[in-house]
Amino acid sequence: MTAIRKDIVRAAYNRVYTLMDTTIYDTLDKAHEFKTKTILVDESLTNDEKLEQHYIVNIVFGII
């Protein structure tokens, strides 16, 4: 298992929110789907970091 770079994960989290257009993703479900897809295609993150980021997004969304 690789080490999770917390600063990179935090930057990716901020980037997802910066990229999201709230006029297009106007419901929680649309916004959550966009965030999830954006995390999965982010090539700067390792698989472990993507998992950590996905976990954070799910906590914010209220799934976990």
Q: Which three-class secondary structure string do you get for 10-30?
A: HHHHHHHHHHCCCCCCCCHHH
Instruction: Give pTM, 2 decimals.
Output: 0.78
pLDDT at 37 (0 to 100) = 92
pLDDT at 1 (0 to 100) = 54
Under 8 Å CB-to-CB from 44, ≥6 apart: which residues? 8, 12
Q: What is the pLDDT of residues 23-62, one digit of tens each?
A: 999 998 898 899 999 999 989 888 998 898 888 888 877 7
